[in-house]
Structure 1
Amino acid sequence: MKKRGIQLTLQTSSLIVGFMVWVLLSSLMTYIKEDIALTSGQASIVTAVPVILGSLLRIPLGFYSDRFGARLIFSISFLILLFPVFFISTADSFIDLIIGGLFLGIGGATFSIGVTSLPKYYPKERHGFINGVYGVGNAGTAITTFGAPILASSIGWQGTVRLYLILLLAFIALIFVFGDRKEVKVKKSMVEQIQGVYKNATLWFLSLFYFITFGAFVAFTVFLPSFLVTYFGLDPVDAGLRTGFFIILATAMRPIGGFLADKFNAFIILMLVFCFVSLSGILLAFSPDIKWYTVGALSVAVSAGIGNGTIFKLVPLYFSNQAGVVNGIVSAMGGLGGFFPPLLLTAVNNMTGQYAIAFMLMSEFALVSFVIVAFMYYQEKLATMRNSKLN
């Protein structure tokens, strides 16, 4: 009992740090633009770039966490992060920010470490809640979004970035001391695990669902700070506070989603989630002022947060023998779901002068997901009825 509690606390805290580092550029973009000349398109690319590696690396990190344990993979990830964080603190051009931001994505990729490791310590009926608690590590994005602009206004954005070097070094030491050296490890090859799952439609349905729910969370996290300043005329600190509240609310909903999925049918919960995401997209598309936009954004926070927790109840339920690589694939798709919307929003605004079309696309994707979840729910019901008749 003591070991599992230590690992849950350590890995969740480590995820908080990883996510704090992951969103450094988007949180400080208003201040960075004062020193480095960037067009709105370049700024969107810089804020979106960390999502690329933060998504794609989730697949190997999930696999190697299963094979070598969370202690080693977290330690290596944080050691590597020291270099892009320092490099960004010395950046003076668009290319510097792109290079540093790409490798900053490792912070976001650490998500797949804990969702692979922590279920090993708990019974299946608690996996939804435990992965939901681990997902509270998303709060790291809120801490940086909320705190980094305040620090930057006092010590400059370069000094703020360098403070994260101290944080990373402290957690490397903590992981080395308290990480579990005897974690159960899986020895199957990555190719063997992928071959066992890639033809399974459930994998790709879950990936689509997480593409919508976690993608919405990431997209709003990286897009809101600049959007609220440029579109609604808020100052950077106010925009950071509002974005931080969005992140806190979405993060708080994640363990609730996992708990509900443990207690009730996860497909029914997901149907409700996608209904609300779809309605939220419509509201955002036609928001005339900051008040209605806030209502729409917070509605996304609640529904996406619950959806994030629910989906990672289903992953170990359907793929207990390939948890590492499947967690990596699903979480990678979620990360990629956050890469495209900021770029799409900027492109749509450049062409039309507003963002309505992009928000409507989010609504339509959620509606399609609702139909697929309903199909999966009734397929499960039919399978249960057949089994009961056979028995």
Structure 2
Amino acid sequence: MNIRGNSRRGLTGSTVGFFFGFAAVALYGPTAVKFKEAMDLTPALVGLLIAIPALSGSLLRIPFGASVDTNGGKKSFLILMLLSVIGLGGVTLLLFTSYPDGMKGMYGLVLTFGFLSGCGIATFSVGIGQTSYWFPRNKQGMALGIFGGLGNLAPGIFSLVLPVFLTYYGFISAYFAWFLFLLVGTILYGIVGVNAYYFQYRKAGVPEAKAIEKAREKGQEIFPAGSIKDSLLLSAKVKNTWALVALYFTTFGGFIALTAWFPTYWAEFQGFNSVKAGLYTAVFSILASVLRVPGGSVADRFGGEKVALLAITAILISTAALSISHSVPGSVFAVLLLAAGMGFANAAIFKLVPVYVPNAVGGAAGWIGGLGAFGGFALPPVMGTIAGAFGAVGYARGFLVFVILALINVLILAFLLRARNSRLVEKIR
């Protein structure tokens, strides 16, 4: 029986897949004006086009995250990445053949391709489940921090590279380059990605009890409880799943939302040009992503709840400062604190998934990753509405949304900490 891979390869594969899966999300915002001009779109239609990859990338996390409990993750990864390749390839072909004069009446098709392009973002919840099955509980934070941190670098790097690429090579060439990038990434994941031992034994026809026994001998600690439906239902019945959803809505949904929002904030409120706005946005995105790596290890050592509580307090303070700051240095300092808070919070929250929902990690990852990432779709329009109501200063006042969410999150974490401490006291007694 050919059982392949180890935890290091499993983590490498899932991280590579997630990084490449994020390829399309950076394109639509900076290039939306081109579609607006070619198809004569209203601001509302432009907003929907920008947000549509985040919509599919969040909602599809729920069923695909749960599917890891039945197939181990590799099949789900490849399906999502291939759908994203089709979407990005489709819009690239459409631009080559029809832009700009033949784009009238093509909005529905562009929207469909945008929806498909966002499927790669949903690889996050698949990777969370796949990585969790590879590692013992005492190394979950470290492994998931590396997965989320390095995989999450994609939006920041693209925010930095894309304005320069558009300046030198043009609009359509950017879509073609990103399509090739995603295609190469899909092939690379297909070669490197590998399921945890239990799923390999089951695929080889080994009975479930024997597969668990053999996988345990190789060091695997976490095992699935049943079907996709079982995993979703079981995790949905755990009330703390929904507490983690609320936390992740603010931290990861907020991360996606702010990666889209900051270029507008720096340009409209601080008066930066597009390249400078992209650079400052990249600093936020890359720092938040990189800090997920040590954030996972810190959560392993001090506990996910405590680290998340401190991190969300940092989010509260920094967004309150951004909502009133007019100076560039003050805003930059607040953004750096915000990036640190989001990086550590995201790592700490997913450290808690195998702790609170050990029998349905995939289902929980689906709910938390999917509904949490929905913040990336829901929050920018709210911030935009605030900006529209207050004029130029509204681009700063929009951060008040995060102040309110952070306050709610602090209360949730205080409840989780109290409940966990109560359980520990009961155990001692």
Q: TM-score range by the shorter chain?
A: over 0.9
- 1:229-260: CA deviation from partner (whole Å, max 9, x where unpaired): 23333222221111111111000111222111
Instruction: Check 1:196–1:11 CA distance in 2 against 1; reply closer, same or farther (3 A cut).
Output: closer
> Residue 208 of structure 1 aligns with which residue?
246
Counterparts of 1:95 and 1:348, CA distance in 2 = 28
| Structure 2 residue runs without a partner (length 5+) | 96-102, 200-223
Counterparts of 1:181 and 1:126, CA distance in 2 = 18
1:60 partner SS: helix
Counterparts of 2:43 and 2:33, CA distance in 1 = 11
> Residue 405 of structure 2 aligns with which residue?
365
Instruction: Check 1:326–1:163 CA distance in 2 against 1; reply closer, same or farther (3 A cut).
Output: same
> Residue 7 of structure 2 aligns with which residue?
4
Say yes or no: does 1:162 pair with 2:176: yes
Which of 144, 151, 154 is the equivalent residue of 2:165?
Answer: 151
Contact 2:83 2:120 in 1 (8 A): no
Counterparts of 2:172 and 2:405, CA distance in 1 = 39
1:188 partner SS: coil
Counterparts of 1:116 and 1:104, CA distance in 2 = 22
> Residue 265 of structure 2 aligns with which residue?
227
Q: Which has the larger radius of gyration?
A: 2
Instruction: Check 1:294–1:43 CA distance in 2 against 1; reply closer, same or farther (3 A cut).
Output: farther
1:171-210 correspondence to structure 2 within 5 Å:
171-180=185-194, 183-185=197-199, 186=224, 188-210=226-248
> Residue 289 of structure 2 aligns with which residue?
251
Instruction: Check 1:155–1:32 CA distance in 2 against 1; reply closer, same or farther (3 A cut).
Output: farther
Counterparts of 2:28 and 2:34, CA distance in 1 = 10
Instruction: Check 1:9–1:114 CA distance in 2 against 1; reply closer, same or farther (3 A cut).
Output: same
Contact 1:20 1:143 in 2 (8 A): no
> Residue 112 of structure 1 aligns with which residue?
125
Contact 1:341 1:358 in 2 (8 A): no
Contact 1:26 1:223 in 2 (8 A): no
> Residue 113 of structure 2 aligns with which residue?
100
Pairwise CA distance, 1:88: 2.5
Counterparts of 2:35 and 2:162, CA distance in 1 = 12
Counterparts of 1:268 and 1:32, CA distance in 2 = 45
> Residue 386 of structure 1 aligns with which residue?
426
> Residue 294 of structure 1 aligns with which residue?
332
> Residue 279 of structure 1 aligns with which residue?
317
Instruction: Check 1:31–1:371 CA distance in 2 against 1; reply closer, same or farther (3 A cut).
Output: same
Contact 2:259 2:281 in 1 (8 A): yes
Instruction: Check 1:244–1:37 CA distance in 2 against 1; reply closer, same or farther (3 A cut).
Output: farther
Percent identity, aligned pairs only, is 28
> Residue 239 of structure 1 aligns with which residue?
277
Counterparts of 1:220 and 1:9, CA distance in 2 = 27
1:320 partner SS: coil
Pairwise CA distance, 1:319: 1.1
Counterparts of 1:33 and 1:148, CA distance in 2 = 19
Instruction: Check 1:79–1:226 CA distance in 2 against 1; reply closer, same or farther (3 A cut).
Output: same
Counterparts of 1:303 and 1:221, CA distance in 2 = 15
Say yes or no: does 1:69 pair with 2:72: yes
| Structure 1 residue runs without a partner (length 5+) | none
Counterparts of 1:18 and 1:171, CA distance in 2 = 8
- 1:95-127: CA deviation from partner (whole Å, max 9, x where unpaired): 444322222220210101111011222211000
- 1:285-341: CA deviation from partner (whole Å, max 9, x where unpaired): 112133322222222111011000001110011111101110010011221112122
Which of 13, 18, 23 is the equivalent residue of 1:20?
Answer: 23
Q: TM-score, normalised by structure 1?
A: 0.93
Pairwise CA distance, 1:199: 2.9
Counterparts of 2:168 and 2:312, CA distance in 1 = 42
Query: Which amino acid letter does the alignment assign opposite residue 365 of structure 1?
Result: L
Contact 1:44 1:342 in 2 (8 A): no
Which of 44, 47, 50 is the equivalent residue of 1:47?
Answer: 50
> Residue 312 of structure 1 aligns with which residue?
350
Q: TM-score, normalised by structure 2?
A: 0.85
Q: Number of residues paired by the alignment?
A: 389
Pairwise CA distance, 1:34: 6.0
Pairwise CA distance, 1:30: 5.4
Instruction: Check 1:100–1:230 CA distance in 2 against 1; reply closer, same or farther (3 A cut).
Output: farther
Counterparts of 1:271 and 1:188, CA distance in 2 = 33
Which of 121, 139, 164 is the equivalent residue of 1:126?
Answer: 139
Query: Which amino acid letter does the alignment assign opposite residue 156 of structure 1?
Result: G
> Residue 207 of structure 2 aligns with which residue?
none
Counterparts of 2:276 and 2:35, CA distance in 1 = 17
Instruction: Check 1:182–1:387 CA distance in 2 against 1; reply closer, same or farther (3 A cut).
Output: closer
Pairwise CA distance, 1:37: 4.3
Which of 259, 262, 281 is the equivalent residue of 2:300?
Answer: 262
Counterparts of 2:22 and 2:355, CA distance in 1 = 26
Contact 1:250 1:305 in 2 (8 A): yes
Query: Which amino acid letter does the alignment assign opposite residue 282 of structure 2?
Result: G
Contact 1:217 1:338 in 2 (8 A): yes
Counterparts of 2:195 and 2:280, CA distance in 1 = 40
> Residue 338 of structure 1 aligns with which residue?
376
Over the aligned positions, Cα root-mean-square deviation in angstroms equals 2.1
